[in-house]
Amino acid sequence: MSPDRFIFGVVMLPLLGAAIAFIAKAFGRDRWTKGLEYLGAFVGLGLPWVVMVATLPLVLEGGALEGVVGLWNPAVGIFYRFDGLAWMVNLLGFSVAGAAWIYSLGSGPKGPAFTAVFLIQTSALAATSMTADIFNLFVCLEVMGIASYVLIASSDKPGSFLAAFSYLMVSGTAMVFFLLGIYGFYRLTGYLSYQGIATGLASLPNFGGVTGILSLALITAAVAIRVAIMPLYGWLPDSHALAPHPVSAVLSGVLIKTPLFALSRVLLLLPLGAQAGELMGYAGAITALVAVVIALAQKDSKRLLAYHTVSQIGYVVAAWGAAIAVGVHTSLGALLMAGAFLHALFHALFKGLLFLSVGTATDTAGERNVYQLRGAGRILGRAGERFPVTTLTFFVAALAITAMPPMNGFASKTFLTYGLKGTWQYSLLFAASLGTMASFIKLSRIFWPPKKSTLTEPVETNPDKPMDPVHPARKIAQGLLALACIGTGLGAPALFALTTELFSSGPRAAGTTLGALARAPQLYSVDTLQTTLWILIGGIMVFLGAGTPWGSGLLRVVRERPRSFRGLFVSFSLGVAGLSAWLLFI
C-alpha cells in the first residue's frame, strides 16, 4: 500500500471501529455484543498505532504527504497534508483516547453506542490534524462538536443535557461566523485550500482589504471560542464538569487543542497571520492568569479542574502565538512551538489523569465539594481499593500540573516559559503558576486525613449503572497515565528534540532545529530549580491568603459572578471587532 493511502488509516480505522460497534448495537446478542464492541475499540484505537509507527520514519526525515483526496479536481477536492504536525496531534489524540476508553469500562458510560460515538470523535480529531483546506476544517470541527454534544449528554448527572445544549449553541454560533469567513476568502480568491487562499490574497492589493481582514478575524475568533480563550471560555466549565469522567479527559486533553494546531497551518501561510497569532498569544497569557484565579475560587472539584483546563490552554496559546508571530522558521519560533506542543501533550496526560483519579474518589465518596470531602483515600479503601492507586496517581498528576520535578509538567513549562523570558507574558505565566500551586494544595485536601466526624462511607452505587471504584479498568487507565507522566518527564529532553525535529517538516531555515535545541534551557540548572522553589513558596502563601476572611470574600465574589449566553455572545462580537481592528491598524 502506498504511503499516501496508508496515512488515512488514522481517520478510517476509528470509523471502521465505530461501524463494528454499531453492528454490535443493532444486531449483536448478549453473548456477542461485548466482543464486537471490544473489537471495534481495538480497530479504532489500537490499529492506528501501526500507522503511527510506520509513518514515523517519513516525518522524521522532514517529509510530508499532501494532495487531493481521490481523483477530484483541485478546485473542488479535499486537500490533505500529513507531516510532523499531523503526526504529533495524532499522538496526542490516540494516547488520551485509548486510556479514557479503558477507564470507561469501569466507570461508564459504556456499551456499543458510547464506543461508536467516541470513535467517531477520535476520527474527526485525526482528520482535523490532516486537513489542508478551510471548508474541510469546518466539516471536521462540526463532526467533532456533534460527537461531543452526544458524549457530554451521555452522563447521568443533573444538568448534563443543559451543558451539552449550551455547548451546542455556543459552538454552532461560532461556526456560523467561521462559515462567513470561508465565504469571504472564497469570494476573494476562488480557493478553499490553505495554499490557494494564501497565494490568492498575496496577489490582491492590501491582501484583500477589509474583506480579507474580516474573514481572517472571523475564522480566528471562531477557533478561539473552541479553544476557550478569554473571554470566550464560558461554555467550557459546565461541559467538562458535567461530562462523564473519561469524556472530560478527552475534552480537556485533546479536543480544545486540536483546532489550535490546525489553525497554525492557516496563520503560517496567510498574510497578516503573524499579527493574528501575536494577539492570540497575548490573550493566552491573560487567560492563564485569570482562569487560575477563577479555578481557585471553586468548590466543586471537577469545576476546579475545568477552569484549570482554561488556564493551562492559556500557557499553550501564549507560546503558540509568540511562535507564530516571530515565525517558526526561526530558532526562537521553533523553541516556542515545540514547547507549546509538548505542554499540550503533557497536559493531556496529567489533566486526563486528574479527571479520572478525582472522578474515582468523588464518585466513591458521593461528594464533590472540596471544602467538605476529606479522607478520600480511606473511603476508597473501605470500598475495596487495598492498594491506594487512586491516591498515588492523583498526586503524580498534581505534581505534574504544578511543575514539580521530575514530572512532565515541570519540563514542558520550563521549555515553554524560557522562550518568553523578558516579556510581560512571562510575568503573567509565573503568577499563574503560583495560583496553580495554591489550587492543587486546596484540591489535595480531599485526600488529607479526615476528622472523625467528616469521614463518610462509600456511597451505594446505582444497580442500573454500577460504578466499581476498584474495577481493574480504572486502575489500568490511571496507572498507564501516571507512568506516562513520570516517563515523559524523565525523557523530556529527548522528546523536546523529537518534537522540534517533527515540526521541522516544511519550509524552514537551515539550522533551525539545531538553533532551537541550543536555545533550550537545562532542566535541572540552578536557575530553573530556584524558579520552582519560588513557585512552591509563593503557591503556599497564596493558598494561605485565600483562606483568610478577605481572601475567602474575594473568591466568593469571583465564584458567584453572573454568567450568561448573552455575555458570551457579546464577548465573541467584541473579540472579532478587536481582532479586526488589530489587523487593520497594527
193 beta partners: 133
3-state secondary structure 88-127: HHHHHHHHHHHHHHHHHHHHCCCCHHHHHHHHHHHHHHHH
Please check whether residue 538 is in contact with residue 278, taking contact to mean a CB–CB distance below 8 angstroms.
Answer: no
Q: What is the mean pLDDT of residues 154-172?
A: 76
Distance (Å, rounded) from C-alpha 320 to C-alpha 332? 11
The Cα 348–Cα 213 span in angstroms is 33
241-291 confidence digits (pLDDT tens) = 777 888 888 888 788 888 888 888 888 888 788 888 888 999 999 999 999
pLDDT above 90 for 76: no
Asked if residue 188 lies in contact with residue 208, where contact means CB atoms within 8 angstroms, the answer is yes
Which residues make beta-bridge pairs with 67? 80
Q: What's the pLDDT score for residue 466?
A: 44
Residue 390's contacts (CB-CB under 8 Å, 6 or more residues apart) are: 357, 360, 361, 376, 377, 380, 469, 474, 478
Q: Which amino acid is at 157?
A: K
Query: Tell me, what's the pLDDT at 442?
Result: 93
Q: Report the amino acid identity of residue 368.
A: R
Task: Report residue 394's pLDDT band, with 50, 70 and 90 as the boundaries.
Answer: very high
Phi, psi of 217 (to 5 degrees): -65, -40
**Mean pLDDT across 333-348:** 88
Name residues whose C-beta falls within 8 Å of residue 533's C-beta, 6 or more positions apart in sequence.
none
Determine the average pLDDT of the residues in 176-194: 90
- Predicted confidence at residue 462, as pLDDT, reads 42
Rounded average pLDDT over 302-311: 89
**Cell reading at 239:** 461541559
Which DSSP helix (H) or strand (E) runs through 283? helix 273-296
CB 439 within 8 A of CB 295: yes
Fill in the amino acid letter for 454. Answer: T
Q: What is the mean pLDDT of the chain?
A: 84
Lowest mean pLDDT among 9-13, 103-107, 275-279, 489-493: 103-107
**Number of Cβ within a 10 Å radius of residue 401:** 29
Cα distances (Å, whole numbers) of residue 166 to 42, 253, 501: 32, 20, 40
Span 117-140, mean pLDDT?
92
Confidence band for 166, pLDDT divided at 50, 70 and 90: confident
CA distance 146 to 152: 10
pLDDT the model gives residue 464: 41
Place of cell 502506498: 2
The answer to whether 543 touches 442, Cβ cutoff 8 Å, is yes
Locus of grid cell 480497530? 43
- Inter-CA distances, 122 with 130, 140, 258, Å: 13, 11, 11
Band of residue 61 on the pLDDT scale cut at 50, 70, 90: confident
State which of 166-175, 323-332, 370-379, 443-452 shows the largest mean pLDDT. 370-379
Give pLDDT, residue 273.
82
Q: How many domains does the chain have?
A: 1
Q: How many CB atoms lie within 10 A of CB 130?
A: 28
**Residue 561: all three cell numbers together:** 459572578
> How high is the pLDDT of residue 469?
55
Cα 163 to chain center, whole Å? 18
Burial class (CB within 10 angstroms; exposed 0-12, middle 13-18, buried 19+) of 27: exposed
Q: 527: which residues sit within 8 A by CB, 6+ positions away?
A: 521
pLDDT single digits (tens) 549-565: 898 888 888 887 776 66
Cα 347 from Cα 341, distance rounded (Å): 10
Q: How many CB atoms lie within 10 A of CB 375?
A: 20
Which cell numbers hold the place of 477? Answer: 487507565
pLDDT of residue 461: 43
Distance CA 95, CA 254 (A): 10
| Per-residue model confidence as pLDDT tens digits over 450-509 | 766 555 555 544 434 444 556 788 888 889 999 999 999 999 888 888 888 777 654 444
Instruction: Report, as an integer, the average pLDDT of 395-405.
Output: 93
The percentage of the chain sitting over the pLDDT mark of 70, rounded to a whole number, equals 89
- The model's pTM is 0.89
User: If you write DSSP's letter for every residue of 437-486 in order, what string do you get?
Assistant: HHHHHHHHGGGSPPPTTT--PPPPPBTTB---TT-HHHHHHHHHHHHHHH
CA dihedral 282, 582, 574, 295 (to 10 degrees): 0
Q: Residue 520 above 80 pLDDT?
A: no
- Residue 220 lies in domain: 3-585
Indicate the pLDDT class of residue 330, thresholds 50, 70 and 90: confident
Residue 535's pLDDT band (boundaries 50, 70, 90)?
very high
* Most confident among 69-78, 305-314, 444-453 (mean pLDDT): 305-314
Beta bridge mates, 300: 369
Q: Which single residue is written with the C-alpha cell 516525518?
A: 59
Asked if the model's pLDDT at residue 82 lies above 50, the reply is yes
Closest residue by Cα to residue 499 from 281, 342, 296, 316: 342
Task: Yes or no: say if 206 and 266 are a contact pair by the CB < 8 Å rule.
Answer: no
- Shortest CA distance to 228 belongs to which of 127, 346, 315, 139? 315
Q: Do residues 330 and 512 lie in contact, with contact meaning Cβ atoms separated by under 8 Å? A: yes
Cα separation, 507 vs 575, whole angstroms = 31
Q: What is the pLDDT of residues 404-438, one digit of tens each?
A: 999 999 999 998 888 898 899 999 999 999 999 99
pLDDT for res 312: 92
Q: Is the pLDDT of residue 195 over 50?
A: yes
Peptide bond into 205 cis (omega under 30): no
